[in-house]
Amino acid sequence: MTSSTRTPAVSAARRWGTLAVCAAAALLLGIDNTVLNLAVPDLVREMDPSSTQILWIADAYSFALASLLVVMGSLGDRIGRKRLLVIGSTCFGLASLLTAYAGSPELLIAARVLLGAAGATVMPSTASLIRATFTDPRERTLALGIDGGVGAMGFVLGPLIGGALLDHFWWGSVFLINVPVMLVLITAGALLLVESRDPNPRRLDLPSVLLSVTGLFGAVYAIQIGTHDGFTRPGVLAAAAVGLAALTAFGLRQSRISNPLIDLPLLRNRAFAGSVGANLVTIVSVSALSLAFSQYFQDVRGWSPLTAGLASLAGPLGAMIGGPSCAAMINWLGRARTAALGLGLMCVSMAGLCWIGADTDYWVMAPVVLLNGVGMGFVFGVTMDTMMATAPKERAGGAAAIGETAMELGGGLGIAVLGSVLAGGYRRALDLPAGLPAPVAAAAHQNVGGATTAGRALPAPQGPELLHTAQQAFVHGLHLSTGIGAGILAVGAVATLFALRGVPKVIDDEQHAEAPETLLVG
């Protein structure tokens, strides 16, 4: 194996093989983010966990993942992104085995934490490896667009695959499928991936690691638990305060030490910061829409989880169209206009969803949802490439981790903010039939799922009346949340048009030539 500080030639087969490995890893991580949702009822019946344990089983993965992204991205820059990806994939497979066969709630929570930690090693490594391998700017834009589109597909495939497996196997099967996929990825990665790292790695600053993990864990915990239990609970407020204090101290320390985990000047770069902001706005709207559609298709339309998963595929299919075509759109419109167009298409789609009813034909809805996915593909295609291209190649892992962390936080914020609007609109519009038993009324006020279950069990006329008012109330809440989401996207489109103005269509690596990256080709 030879080392050089100049970028060696990498064959086309190896470049596109690298993309295939990285996209498959991104797809699997997306699936794992959502695959557990349908398995929760089965594992609750088998393990009988407490309500607190159920919450940790569901959220431990995302807590660990979001908390460790910055640390792992920076670590990959130092020790090599291929090495970290292979190590992380191995750990992900082993943690998946442990999760699938966990015999107690405590062991399952621990396994989910390990799974999230392993995922944090893989997620920033994929984008930074693509950045290092694809040296032609136009090819790099196309490759990152494809990677983003495939990754988006994973979030919807999770419930779809989970539903198919749970029809025939036990709940652990949704994690067991990770093992053979990871074995293939590890083997293919060892053969195809080209090692890349910072040629002058700096010592890892342990206080920065501690502050980063503490701050991000506190922020993610406060957002997700606050969404479940309310933001005024003492534990949520304490986590938010600790997280904010730690992140403030982390930022101050990064500006004063010679070996920071992240380059703060990146966040002062208008193109980089604007791309992070556009991603944040996108994921806020998409995550809330995913939550709303899950309830709409199953509780309002009465479809099975598998049918609901199939119905949700229109969005990711649109992203798989928009992502790969992003390079051509940039060449035609430029980066700022392409990203703004993507947010604009999502805005139009969200506004269009304000007109759907409880019995709107799916073939009327599908093009609107497809349009949302195409817009998302445009945004992610522009922003991921812009972030990777404007960051120094030797710090690409850290740059990718910043973007991924913002998306993790954005997902929680979307559900917290727009999900709360949806729930509040539902409760305000709910007009319960007279004479309902108190437990039934309480369940109906809680959410549309509780109202649907109760309504189907009650005799006429109360049962059908409850179903009708719950469905109409949910649609009202959906209209409110999608309307506000459309407004957020409109503001984001205008801001992105300003933030990315002047960024060239083609971003070459010459601007970072003073700090060449070590690329190892075997």
Q: Are residues 389 and 470 in the same domain?
A: yes
Q: Which domain, by its residues, includes 155?
A: 12-140+149-199
Q: Are residues 406 and 346 in the same domain?
A: yes
Question: Does residue 306 lie in a domain region?
Answer: yes
pLDDT, averaged across the chain: 83
Closest among 437, 120, 392, 358 to 265, alpha carbons compared: 392
Question: Does residue 7 lie in a domain region?
Answer: no
Distance CA 69, CA 402 (A): 8
Q: What is the pLDDT of residues 266-290, one digit of tens each?
A: 788 888 889 999 988 988 888 778 7
* Number of separate domains in the chain: 3
For residue 521, the SS3 value is strand
Cα→Cα distances 434→329, 448, 458, 461, 465, Å: 57, 18, 13, 11, 10
Q: Are residues 295 and 339 in the same domain?
A: yes
Q: What is the mean pLDDT of residues 46-74?
A: 82
Q: Are residues 449 and 359 in the same domain?
A: yes
pLDDT at 200 over 80: no
Q: What is the pLDDT of residues 346-361, one digit of tens each?
A: 999 999 999 998 889 9
Of 340-344, 372-376, 443-447, where does mean pLDDT reach its minimum? 443-447
Q: Are residues 90 and 117 in the same domain?
A: yes
The confidence score (pLDDT) of residue 302 equals 84
Question: Does residue 299 lie in a domain region?
Answer: yes
Question: Does residue 435 lie in a domain region?
Answer: yes
Amino acid (1-letter code) at residue 146: I
Q: What is the mean pLDDT of residues 77-101?
A: 90
> In which band, very low, low, confident or very high, does the pLDDT at 513 lie, cut at 50, 70 and 90?
very low
Q: Are residues 20 and 88 in the same domain?
A: yes
pLDDT at 457 over 60: yes
Last residue of a domain, one of 237, 260, 283: 260
Question: Does residue 515 lie in a domain region?
Answer: no
Q: What is the pLDDT of residues 226-258, one digit of tens each?
A: 776 777 777 888 988 998 999 999 889 988 888
Last residue of a domain, one of 181, 199, 217: 199
pLDDT at 10 over 50: yes
Distance CA 476, CA 474 (A): 5
Range list of H helices, 258-390:
264-268, 270-295, 305-311, 314-322, 326-333, 335-352, 362-390
Q: Are residues 108 and 220 in the same domain?
A: no
Provide the token pair at 261.
């985990």
Q: Are residues 251 and 285 in the same domain?
A: no
pLDDT at 494 over 60: yes
**C-alpha R_g of the chain:** 23
Q: What is the mean pLDDT of residues 46-50?
A: 79
Q: Are residues 153 and 286 in the same domain?
A: no
Q: Are residues 336 and 472 in the same domain?
A: yes
Q: Are residues 302 and 167 in the same domain?
A: no
The CATH number of residue 386's host domain is: 1.20.1250.20
pLDDT at 4 over 50: no
> In which band, very low, low, confident or very high, does the pLDDT at 38 lie, cut at 50, 70 and 90?
low
Q: What is the mean pLDDT of residues 433-459?
A: 81
Q: Is the pTM of this model over 0.85?
A: no
pLDDT at 490 over 50: yes
Last residue of a domain, one of 165, 184, 199: 199
Q: Are residues 115 and 236 in the same domain?
A: no
Question: Does residue 309 lie in a domain region?
Answer: yes
Question: Does residue 518 lie in a domain region?
Answer: no
